[in-house]
Amino acid sequence: MKRVLITGAYGFLGRYTAKKFKSENWHVSGIGHGKWHESEYSKWGLDRWYETTITFEALINLNQKFDLIVHCGGSGSVGFSYANPYEDFQKSVQSTLSLLEYIRLQCKDCQFIYPSSPAVLGSLGDRPIFEDEISDPVSPYGFHKKTAEELCLSYYKNFGINTSIIRFFSIYGAGLQKQLLWDACVKITSATGTAKFFGTGDETRDWVHVEDAADLTYLLAVDETVTDTVKIINCGSGEKVTVKDTLQLLVNLYGKAVELEFNQHVKEGDPRFYHADISRAKQLGWVPKVDFVSGMEDYIQFFKTMYNG
């Protein structure tokens, strides 16, 4: 039985990734922050849970060998990177270095998958984004993700570590309790006629369901295609949706008469447009299975259960 270690398995993407690998009969361990009893983490496919900060020393103390490490831990917020740049660096860069060094010294045959972000590329305009674009980040979050990607490339070129990168666009699904969709649902719930949001509403996002994201991670893990560089793959739907249309769909599905209002101020460090080219992902045999409307219907039901429950 193959063994995978998922960092940040307590988090949103980490849980679904763990569940996917368990469904494929892997032994699944998780590491990161979060108090989790076995009765709870086992529901998400985890066989073991290590509650600790991701450091080289902590990894050595596990005294385990893995076939694969998926690094779902780390920072996930542009805003946090501006408010806490040092801590964001520790979460994104230092943790990645610790994992790569652990693989180099302790289990060199272990594969490493790094979930990254299109934020490494910066603002590219209203068009599809390809993996080989020139990187020009516009936020500390983007710079830190770029640095982590460069570490992956370094350990591949210099030490032969089998490393891959997935740039996830806007992941959503039941369990997500932060970012645009959750905040929007909270505003819609409390709105008395009008709900106000940042931006113009014309910004675009490329939404991909978390189950589809986990599926692509698994397909990349078992892909045996040999390349002469680190594999970098976009994970999105391949379709752009404006923020205004996204929020209007939420309002419609929520079933409440609410008008949307935008303050015309774009948040610092947030590129206005996201739209993934997913040709490489499709070459692995992956296509998104969860359509956006169905996924959003499920999300609304999840929100109502959690918020009112």
Q: Which residues are paired to 208 by β-bridges?
A: 171
Q: If we measure between CA atoms, which residue out of 142, 126, 33 comes closest to residue 82?
A: 142
Residues 92 and 144: beta-carbon distance below 8 Å: yes
Residues 122, 123, 127, 132, CA torsion sign:
negative
- Output the pLDDT for position 309: 44
pLDDT of the residue at 16: 98
User: Which superfamily is assigned to 3-171+208-235 in CATH?
Assistant: NAD(P)-binding Rossmann-like Domain (3.40.50.720)
Q: What is d(CA 272, CA 257) in angstroms, rounded to the nearest whole number?
A: 27
Let me know if 298 is exposed, middle or buried by CB neighbors in 10 A (0-12, 13-18, 19+): middle
Residues of the chain falling short of pLDDT 70: 309
Looking at domain 173-206+239-274+290-308, its CATH superfamily turns out to be: UDP-galactose 4-epimerase, domain 1 (3.90.25.10)
Is residue 236 helix, strand or coil? coil
For position 265, what pLDDT does the model report? Answer: 87
pTM of the model: 0.95
Q: What gap in Å lies between CA 278 and CA 295, rounded to an integer? A: 19
Q: Per-domain residue ranges for the chain?
A: 3-171+208-235, 173-206+239-274+290-308
